Amino acid sequence: MRFENRCAIVTGAASGMGLLASQMLAEEGAKVYMADINAEALKARAEEICQKGGAAVPAVCDVREWDQIRDTVERAVRESGSIDIVINFAGGFPPRMCKASPEGHYFPTEPLDVIDWGIDVNFRAPMLFARAAMGHMIAQKRGVIINIGSIDGWTGGGVDYAAEKSGITGGLTKALARIGAPHGVRCCAVSPGPVLTRAAMSNMKTALGRAAEPKEIVSLVMYLCSDDAAFVTGTDYLIDGGRLLLNNQ
């Protein structure tokens, strides 16, 4: 029960690794505010966690909207008395998420609205969740923020996606860690390689010859959120099965 009496916000919590993180946090005692734009799926997944004895609250939130981000954080603090963990899982490769045409996957012809979606969700949202939560964490002298990057931020995948992911795992994570450290507030990042949240991920080559199971990624996130990692802050943890090794050959 590493997270007993802790309050956590997880974005992108209706599916994938955000859902798994919510389930694992709840299993270890946290009260989890599950933030996602998909209201129907969010409610169903939160109910499933509660039926198993966990504490989960569906918090419908469009992470592109500051008012909704702020209200989600303030609700968690008001109802729980603290905000101890924020995990920014919401995001994705913009052309795929926006269902762009094949031409839209090529940066010189990528539609501007697709680029804007990526900046808003992959970069701006983690920054604004940190802005909303950081003051509370500093005041209570504890807290952890985890930003989720990508191997593409290391290798230079899609131009906008790589910039967004390297931006949050590099500059944002380090800056938040620096201002939080004197107050017991930590910030770390995790950059996965291919993960089997989609079947197509199995086609991405790694030195280990496979993609990661979602739990392998989320288990690292859980460690970084826990007191076991109390001396860890300001760094990005690459968990890619050695994909970066192949890129450097």
The single residue listed with the structure tokens 């954080």 is 73
- Per residue in 205-218, pLDDT (tens digit) is 999 999 999 999 99
Mean pLDDT, residues 180-196 taken together: 97
pLDDT, residue 199, reads: 83
pLDDT, residue 200, reads: 83
Tally of CA atoms within 13 A in the half-sphere of 46 that contains its CB: 24
pLDDT at 234 over 80: yes
Torsion 95-99-102-103 (CA) sign: negative
Q: Reduced to 3 states, what is the DSSP secondary structure of residue 181?
A: helix
Rounded to an integer, what distance in angstroms lies between the CA atom of residue 203 and that of residue 205? 6
33, 161, 223, 237: which one is catalytic? Answer: 161
Mean pLDDT, residues 133-152 taken together: 98
Mean pLDDT, residues 227-236 taken together: 98
7-247: which CATH topology? Rossmann fold (3.40.50)
161 a catalytic residue: yes
Confidence grade of residue 198 (pLDDT, cut at 50, 70, 90)? confident
pLDDT, residue 4, reads: 97
* Predicted model pTM: 0.95
Q: Is 190 left (phi over 0), alpha (psi -120 to 50) or beta?
A: beta
Query: 70 near 130, Cβ under 8 Å?
Result: no
DSSP symbols for 111-176: -HHHHHHHIIIIIIHHHHHHHHHHHHHHHHT-EEEEEE--THHHHT-SHHHHHHHHHIIIIIHHHH
pLDDT, residue 84, reads: 98
pLDDT at 14 over 70: yes
Amino acid 8 reads A
- Per residue in 61-120, pLDDT (tens digit) is 999 999 999 999 999 999 999 999 999 999 999 999 999 998 889 999 999 999 999 999
Per-chain mean pLDDT for the chain: 96
Confidence grade of residue 249 (pLDDT, cut at 50, 70, 90)? low
pLDDT above 90: percentage of residues in the chain: 94
pLDDT, residue 248, reads: 66
Strands 143-148 and 85-88, by their bridges, are parallel
Rounded to an integer, what distance in angstroms lies between the CA atom of residue 52 and that of residue 88? 24
